[in-house]
């Protein structure tokens, strides 16, 4: 039997409707959520991602501003801009689009965003709140979106064996922190695997929930998946394809066709995690506006 596909686009739409209602409630109080995007350089993927986020803002009634800086911009100039945005009461959320030029320290830049405006959830204060189970902070958008996918797809979390492939600061570590909390829609037993993990396939085969965020094309095969498991594919890998527009296409970290025959739930890629990241960014921005208003 083929896996039940978790439709990230449909669930994202559900969250957008909830967010729009909160925007309307703020509007009734005379407040409009404001989100500032900071983009440094001309990375093509960054242009696309910011454009998608801008359109989501426009659709939901969130005021957005995009500030584009040259590749040669110094770190001091970026920090000065963020300082001005931190002080602007019309800006409730700030998102610094990654990647930044190599000459700029990403950690220092992310830490310069005021914690109450850090809608990406990367500031050390928000990272700490997530680890402590404090709901007063912001959770990084991609793991927060994955969490919602699992909840709204009806995948049991309490007591579940979860294996996360990848220990990155954007997905792997915060995902583990979300799921190990002693809290509703958590209480899972979590294993985080990485490039130095021994017998990684054996870890995968015992997982009730397998989250692949390694950045390795179609790494997870059917023989690595426990029958009936929920598999979440976070990977974004561009591969050559002469038949595709532009000569390439995107594939995930999961062998979709092979795993589909084994898994109980599976996210498509695209159409799974991606739309949820934007939905959670919009939700975080509205939360920031509510807190500041």
Phi, psi of 232 (to 5 degrees): -110, 120
Residue 248 has pLDDT above 80, yes or no: no
237 or 257, which is more confident: 257
Residue ranges covered by each domain of the chain = 30-115, 140-274
Domain 30-115 of CATH type 3.40.50.10860: yes
Confidence grade of residue 1 (pLDDT, cut at 50, 70, 90): low
Q: Which of 265, 264, 236, 232 is nearest to 252 (CA)?
A: 236
Average pLDDT, the chain: 96
Would you place residue 185 in the very low, low, confident or very high pLDDT band (cuts 50, 70, 90)? very high
pTM reported for the whole predicted model: 0.96
Catalytic residue among 7, 118, 120, 233: 120
Q: Do domains 30-115 and 140-274 have the same CATH topology?
A: yes
Q: Tell me, what's the pLDDT at 239?
A: 80
Length, in residues, of the chain? 293
Among 97, 173, 226, 233, which one carries the catalytic annotation? 97
CATH 3.40.50.720 corresponds to the domain 140-274 = yes
CA–CA dist 277, 270 (Å, integer): 12
Query: What pLDDT does 101 receive?
Result: 95
Q: Would you place residue 249 in the very low, low, confident or very high pLDDT band (cuts 50, 70, 90)?
A: confident
Residue 181 annotated to the active site: no
- Averaged over 210-228, what is the pLDDT? 97
Whether 58 sits among the annotated catalytic residues: the reply is no
Q: Point out the catalytic residue in the list 53, 117, 173, 226.
A: 53
Active site residue 97: yes
Question: Which of 140, 152, 222 shows the shortest CA–CA distance to 8?
Answer: 152
């Amino acid at each position: 039997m083929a896996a039940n596909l978790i439709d990230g686009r449909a669930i994202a739409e559900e969250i957008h409707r909830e967010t729009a209602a909160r925007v309307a409630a703020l509007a009734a109080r005379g407040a409009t959520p404001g989100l500032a995007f900071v983009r440094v350089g001309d990375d093509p993927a960054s242009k696309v991602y910011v454009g998608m986020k801008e359109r989501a803002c426009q659709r939901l009634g969130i005021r957005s501003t995009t500030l584009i800086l040259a590749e040669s911009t110094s770190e001091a100039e970026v920090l000065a801009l963020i300082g001005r945005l931190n002080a602007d009461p019309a800006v409730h959320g700030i998102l610094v689009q990654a990647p930044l030029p190599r000459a700029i320290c990403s950690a220092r830049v992310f830490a310069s965003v005021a914690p109450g405006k850090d809608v990406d959830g990367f500031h050390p204060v928000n990272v700490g709140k997530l680890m402590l189970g404090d709901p007063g902070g912001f959770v990084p958008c991609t793991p927060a979106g994955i969490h919602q996918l699992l909840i709204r797809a009806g995948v049991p979390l309490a007591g579940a064996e979860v294996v996360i492939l990848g220990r990155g600061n954007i997905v792997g570590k915060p995902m583990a922190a979300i799921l190990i909390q002693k809290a509703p829609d958590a209480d899972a037993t979590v294993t985080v695997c990485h490039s130095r993990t021994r017998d990684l396939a054996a870890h995968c085969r015992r997982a009730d929930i397998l989250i692949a965020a390694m950045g390795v094309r179609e790494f997870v095969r059917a023989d690595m998946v426990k029958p009936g498991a929920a598999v979440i594919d976070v990977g974004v890998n561009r591969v050559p394809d002469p038949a595709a527009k532009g000569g390439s296409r995107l594939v995930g970290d999961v062998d979709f066709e092979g795993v589909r025959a084994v898994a109980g739930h599976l996210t498509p890629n695209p159409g799974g995690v991606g739309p949820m990241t934007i939905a959670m960014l919009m939700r975080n921005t509205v939360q920031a506006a509510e807190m500041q208003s």
